[in-house]
Amino acid sequence: MTNSMNNVKAPLLAQIGALFPEVRLKKDRDREITFEVQPRDLHQVLTYLKNAGWRQLSMISCVDWIEDGQFELVYNVFDWTQGLRVLLSMKIDRGEAQAMTIINLFDGAMYYEREIHEFFGVVFLGNEDALKSLFLERWDDIPPLRKDFDSRAYSDKKYVKRFYDPVYGPQGGASFERS
Amino acid sequence: MNALQSIGTGLGMALFGWLLQTTISGVTRKVIARIQKRRGPVWYQNFRDIMKLLNKRSVTHGWAFDFGLLVALAGAIGTAMFMPVAGIVAFKGFDNFFMIIYLAALGVFGRALSSGSSGNPLATIGVMRGLTQNIGYKVPYMLLVIALISYYRTSSISEIVELQRVSGWSVLVMPLGFVVAFISLHGMLGKKPFDTYLAPAEIASGPLVEYGGKQLGILMIAHELSVFIEVSLFVNLFLGGGATLPEFLLKYAFIYILSSSLGAVMGRFRIEQVVRFYYKVPIALTIVQILMLAVMRGGVR
Amino acid sequence: MPKKERPSRFHPVSHTMQTVEVPTEKISPQEQAEAWEKIAHYFRANSLWMLNYCTGCCAIELPLVMTSQYDMERLGMMPMATPRQADILLVTGYASLKTLRRLIYTYEQMGTPKYVVAFGPCAVNGGIYHDAYAVLNRLDLYLPVDLYIAGCMPKPEAVMNGFKRLIELIESGQATGWKDYERRFDWYKSNQLEAVGEVYIHDEFHE
Amino acid sequence: MNIIHLILGLFLAGIAAYGIGRLKPAAASWLTLAASWAALLILFLGGDTLAGGNAWGLLAFKMTPLGWFFSMTLLFVYSTNTFFNLSVPAAPTRQAAYPMLYLISLASTIGVFSAENWLALFIFWEIVLWSSTFMIGFGKPGRGSIIYFGMSLLGSFMMLFAILVMGTAYQTFEVKGALMAAAQSPGPALLVFLLMLFSAMVKLGITPFHIWMPEAYHEAPDHFAPVLAGGLSKLGAFTALMVTSFLPASTLMAQPWQVRGLPLLTYILLTVSAVSIVIGTLMAIKQEDAKKLLAYSSVANSGYIMIGMLMGTPMSVSGALVHLLAHALATTVTFMVMAAVARQTGTTRMDELGGLLHRMPITFLAFLTAILSLVGLPPMLGFVSKWLILQSLASQGLFLVAAAAIFGSIGSLLYAFRILSTVFLGQLKPKHRQVREAPAVLLIPLLLLSGVTLVLGIYPYGLVQYTAKIENSLGFADTVQITGLSIQGNNGNLNALLIMGAFAIGFLIALGIFLKAPKSRKVDLMDTYTGGEFIYSPELYSYSTNFFAPLERVYAGLPEISRLYEALANRVRDLGTLVQYLFFSPLPSRTALLISVVTILLIWGEAI
């Protein structure tokens, strides 16, 4: 892999390997590295990365692995000076779906965590504000982006569909009845 | 002319002013459309807009909202009655410059009062910007006209028109003044670089944000009349005001369409730029013009 | 007809008691009213002001309609900044739950007579978002739609034809969606509240 | 019934009011009301030929048309304000002195306007100063009354010095005679004119001396501020007009320096009053408090009055007099309205108010007429005077001063809209929803004063005719002409009735269109276009703090006059410490040395 990022990646990989034995390199793309992180190491790795120059938390995203009953939280940090993006992937159990908040490290995480709570139901301990609703106004069902949420069923239940009489073709067609 | 006849001519003048200006602004919309390589509406589109608005049922925010509007239209009609056009003067000897400016200012104040009382802060911000801009272009404009008045030693518009026919247009007397007056007229008409108070994108058309239906119709009539007053004042004072009606119409159309097409190709200034521009360029030019006038004419006495 | 009172800000409307302001037609000789109504229709048809409010993805077609190639100003149509000044409310594309609250609020701020033009299939039956958890499947239950323009993003020609059709409807006096909204106000309101729960939303961001 | 009886009667009524006030404050207010209205009636019936008279040879009085005009203005302002005192809540015991001071200051203003010799004039001038200082500081003598007293003292001393100079140089204290003598003989004429004009400028609040106005008006109690703002500043105008009316005939005219046909001295003073207009307007635009804004607008309007007087042409002097009356009426109404607002809502800070139009409509209408008059828009009296002043400026060709006058009149549009929209228009705050209309006692003076402004604005011919009579009495060669219904300007003429007629016709047409079109739907204040968002808090939904931000940014950096005074005060303090160091130091040797040096100088001073 001969590209300009080598002189940046090499010291990083060495350091991470030395400091955090359990952290495993999951994927190494051209300008992006993904690490596999355990929940208890998350804060140390983030603190190290922040001091090493990865000052911006671009986003936190969540993936619902319903088959093996796990949520995957991906923390995405970026370093403007060296131009390398580091992703920390962390698996948490889908059942009690809990994770430690990182708002003391990155203030911006407040709204990301709040959004993940609203759409996936992950509770971030230590961040009470994240329990409030953010985008969905007056939502009355389980968090919509979880795999076990059936959007079509919800739509059929909630919104009145337009009824077409079964006869199609030139003589039939939708009737815009206006009673 | 006895009283009834002069009032009749005055009303006729106001009606003529409205018809003239609405037609010309319709034609100007076509010209601007052509500048933007599209066909533009029919020339009588503005009439249709105003008639549609007067047939719409809209919203009022209280008696001050409507009262201010009526004062705006009354101020515009009242001022238009005094305007001399091509030799026709409704009230001989009473059409002096200061009275026209202040009666038009009463119309502006009525509009400010009515849009202020709509309760929408966007309208108040729009009026604030309009007044800030007003102080920017009115001071050099009135200073120039005072120089003209002390040069012709009369402030009655119709007499100035006669004097210009004798001693040549005021453009020759004060060329720099003409340029500054045109810039001020551009600001008064609220054309593009200076339409910060009507900015649809920033403050949702400023003072007009709460108007609809007949309120907006009345406001458009008042706007057309005040544009008629400003442009015909400019033509009378600086371009000799036309001995016959066609001559006056030609100058009027030329000035208004020039100003609008200039506006069509320019971007909108921010309010700070407008204020800073008006406090540098026009005032400096005016002072230079007055000094030139004083020196060349050997003292204005 | 008891005088109905508009829902206002300080005492939000209760579900049972809704009031609407039905314009009391001045009882003047019938023909004179008709004649004046016909003239008024001519003016309303030829000076349509469109509210510059793009709700969905079809809005990207509007700049084409406004600029030099198709130029809707020929038809006397202009984009206006506020609902008070506008005649047409364009529902360009899908109407999500949150957008419907704003649409209803904006529609009630417009002066009558007002018209609603819906773009694309999403307003008819939800279109490609018919199974989404946030998108409504029938717009005409909540707002009286005067005209549908077909095409999942209708081409500018389709939009221009649609506007021509709207002008014909208005001139012939058939575009009476706003009258229908006022006549069947309770029906519309109950549909809205059932779908949206509460039009004037109160939450952390709108205290 | 000559003037002395009138003044004496008012003094006695004042003392009686104090007595009664101790027992029942309400009765004292009724007494002040009765006394001031009686005085108004007597003076009105007596006309300007009210018998004069002199007491003990020293206090001689003679009623002149000029004196009558000024006393009528002051009396009208004072008596309409007495209604205001009725509505003052049960005043604390020390308030009992208020009616007494009020009547005494009223009596002494009449004394000033009808005094025949300078000493009498100065005595009454001082009584006005003393009584108003106490009244400003009622309850809490703050910074305002101290600055007011300090600056007025400066003005009074200047006047006293001028009077004494005139006394010694021309051996007469008679008002007209002394000024006439000063005009003829070169001698100390320049010094006398300058000092008198400076003392007048202090009272009027022209630029270098205007800093006391915002503090004093802001701090004056609600029921005295209208009189202080509307009435008392007119004393300065009286002496200024006495002096400027003698300028044209004076030796100063023969000076080589002529600018546009005016002596250099008057041209400099014209520039000072022009600067006063510009500074008054710019500062008024910046203010956050309503009363301070009105105070600075008084500074600007005093500039107009000063310009009218200094120019000396018949039209400009008549413009100045009319503007004086218009400003008196309008400022009294605006301060009364602010007092009513303060009583109902508890504050005059503009960012806490809003939407009061819907709760106090009559007060709003009175305020609207007053604001239109302050700005100088047609239906009101302010327009007639501004027209006269601008006409004379144009015909005289004074461009710099004309530029300032125009800037002032358009700038007044700005701060008039600011105060109007932040206090009355805009969103009604929830806590003001229970605000009721001002009490009836307050509405009578409001409607009275704004009614007079409107009526005189539509039919100003009687007033302008009287100013012509005053110009004759002051010795002007020709006066402003009125033929039929039009005031003859030297480059155009004004028919106020015709303008109102055109406006009325326009209004009828507009009303016709308005009623013909379909009826609009009444909507609440909060139901406005908010970009589709739902907003429920009116407090946040109004635009009132730093209102003209883009304009203020342009002239943010300019130095302020008050900083100049602070620097001056610091120098004086340094001087004080120096003297203390020299003369009152603990070391005896230094003082012994100084005393000996001083004695030596005294004895052999001439020899050196």
pLDDT in tens, chain A (179 residues): 456 677 888 888 898 889 888 888 888 888 899 999 999 989 999 999 999 999 999 999 999 999 999 999 999 999 999 889 999 999 999 988 899 999 999 999 999 999 999 999 999 999 888 888 888 888 888 899 999 999 999 998 888 888 877 665 555 445 555 44
Distance in angstroms (rounded) separating the CA atoms of residues A13 and C103: 53
Could you tell me if residue A20 is inside a domain? yes
**Average model confidence (pLDDT) for chain D?**
86
Q: Does B215 touch chain D (CB under 8 A)?
A: yes
d(CA D397, CA B300): 7
pLDDT score recorded for residue A114 = 93
β-bridge partners, A92:
A71
Q: Is residue A25 part of a domain?
A: yes
| Residues D163-171, mean pLDDT to the nearest whole number | 85
Percent of chain D with pLDDT over 70: 94
Judged by CB atoms closer than 8 Å, whether chains meet at A176 and C148 is answered as yes
B175-189 and B245-264 helices, crossing angle to 10°: 70
Last residue of a domain, one of D438, D464, D480: D480
Chains that touch A (3 or more CB pairs under 8 A): C
Q: Which residues of C touch B39 (CB under 8 A)?
A: 71, 73-74
Our CA angle for D501, D503, D504, nearest 5°, is: 65
Q: What is the mean pLDDT of chain C?
A: 84
Q: Is residue C9 predicted with pLDDT exceeding 60?
A: no
C-alpha count within 13 angstroms, C-beta hemisphere, residue D548: 30
CA angle C3, C6, C12 (to 5 degrees): 130
D228, part of any domain? yes
Q: Which residues from C are below 8 Å from A178, CB to CB?
A: 140, 180
Do D316 and D196 lie in one domain? The reply is: yes
Q: What is the pLDDT of residue D490?
A: 75
pLDDT value, residue A168: 59
Q: What is the mean pLDDT of residues D55-84?
A: 85
Residue A119 lies inside a defined structural domain of this protein = yes
pLDDT at position C2, please?
Answer: 46
* Nearest CA-CA distance, residue B263 and chain C, Å: 18
Query: Partners of C91 in the beta sheet?
Result: C118
Q: What is the CATH number of the domain that holds A103?
A: 3.30.460.80
Sequence-ordered list of residues with C-beta below 8 angstroms from that of A124, at least 6 positions apart, any chain: A98, A99, A100, A101, A113, A116, A117, A130
Q: Subunits with at least 3 CB pairs below 8 A relative to chain D?
A: B, C
Domains in chain C: ranges and CATH? 45-195 (3.40.50.12280)
Task: Identify the pLDDT of residue C26.
Answer: 55
List residues in chain A touching C: CB distance below 8 A: 132-133, 135-138, 141, 144, 149, 151-152, 154-155, 158-162, 164, 174, 176, 178
Q: In this predicted structure, what is the pLDDT of residue D538?
A: 85
In a domain, residue D26? The reply is no
Residue D540 within any structural domain of the chain: no
Res D256: pLDDT: 64
Reading the block at residue B290, the tokens are 């007055």
Distance from CA of B91 to the nearest CA of D (A): 9
- Is the pLDDT score of C146 beyond 70? yes
Which range among B211-220, C18-27, C104-113, D108-117 shows the weakest confidence by mean pLDDT?
Answer: C18-27
pTM of the prediction?
0.88
Q: Do B55 and C110 count as a contact with CB atoms less than 8 A apart?
A: no
Nearest to D425 by CA among D367, D345, D503: D367
Do the beta carbons of residue D365 and residue D357 sit within 8 Å? no
**Contact (CB<8Å) A176/C136:** no
> Do residues C45 and C75 lie in contact, with contact meaning Cβ atoms separated by under 8 Å?
no
Q: Using alpha carbons only, what angle is made at residue D450 by residues D304 and D474, rounded to the nearest 5 degrees?
A: 45
Examine residue D560 and state whether it is found in any structural domain, yes or no: no
- Least confident residue range of B255-269, C171-185, D136-150: D136-150
Q: Is the pLDDT of residue D252 over 80?
A: no
Share of chain C above pLDDT 90, in %: 43
Helix or strand (DSSP H, E) at A163:
none
Average the pLDDT over each of C87-96, C136-145, D175-184, D316-325 and give the range with the smallest value: D175-184
D517 in reach of chain C (CB within 8 A): no
On whether any CB of chain B is under 8 Å from the CB of D114, the answer is no
Lowest mean pLDDT among A58-67, D29-38, D367-376: D29-38
- Among B168, B182, B174, B132, CA closest to B282: B182
- Domain borders along chain B are 3-296
| C-alpha separations of D587 from D418, D574, D599 in Å | 61, 20, 19
Beta bridge partners of residue C149, listed in sequence order: C119
Q: Tell me the three state secondary structure of residue C25.
A: coil
The secondary structure of residue D94, as a DSSP letter, is: G
Question: Which of B197-206, C85-94, D77-86 tops mean pLDDT?
Answer: C85-94
Residue C17 — very low, low, confident or very high, per pLDDT cuts 50/70/90?
Answer: very low
Size of interface C-D (CB pairs under 8 A): 35
Structure tokens at C99: 């957008």
Closest approach of chain B CAs to the CA of C115, in angstroms?
13
Distance from CA of D557 to the nearest CA of B (A): 14
* pLDDT computed for residue C90 by the predictor: 92
Which parts of chain B have pLDDT scores under 50? 299-301
The residue with greater pLDDT, B167 or D448, is D448
Q: Within a domain: residue D166? A: yes
Residue D593 lies in domain: 567-604
pLDDT-derived band at D540, boundaries 50, 70, 90:
confident
Chains C, A in contact, 3 or more Cβ pairs below 8 Å: yes
Indicate whether D255 pLDDT > 70. Answer: no
Nearest to B41 among C73, C110, C113 (CB): C73
What residues in B contact C85, CB-CB < 8 Å? 205, 208, 211-212, 216
CB contact residues (below 8 A), chain C span 152-181, against chain A? 180
- Full DSSP string of C94-113: --BHHHHHHHHHHHHHSPBS
Cis peptide before C113 (omega within 30 of 0): yes
Q: Which residues pair with C80 in a beta bridge?
A: C51
| Chains B and A touch each other (3 or more Cβ pairs < 8 A) | no
- In this structure, how many other beta carbons lie within 10 angstroms of the beta carbon of residue D531? 12
Is the pLDDT confidence value at D42 over 60? yes
pLDDT given for residue D94 in this prediction: 61
Q: Do C109 and D527 touch (CB under 8 A)?
A: yes
Counting residues of chain C whose pLDDT is more than 70, the rounded percentage is 86
Q: Which domain does A87 fall in, by range?
A: 6-158
pLDDT in tens, D205-247: 888 888 889 888 888 888 888 999 988 889 999 999 888 887 7
Percent of chain D with pLDDT over 90: 30
Report the number of distinct structural domains present in chain D: 2
Is C6's Cβ below 8 Å from some Cβ in D?
A: yes
User: What is the least distance, in Å, from the CA of B264 to any CA of chain D?
Assistant: 25
- On whether residue D542 sits in a domain, the answer given is no
How would you class D233 by CB atoms within 10 Å of its CB: exposed for 0-12, middle for 13-18, buried for 19 or more? buried
Judged by CB atoms closer than 8 Å, whether chains meet at D536 and C207 is answered as yes
Both D333 and D428 in a single domain?
yes
Contact B149, B97 (CB under 8 A): yes
- Can you tell me the distance from the alpha carbon of B141 to that of B238, in angstroms, rounded to the nearest whole number? 12
> What is the reported pLDDT for B110?
93
Amino acid at B257: I
Q: Is C107 on the interface with B (CB under 8 A)?
A: no
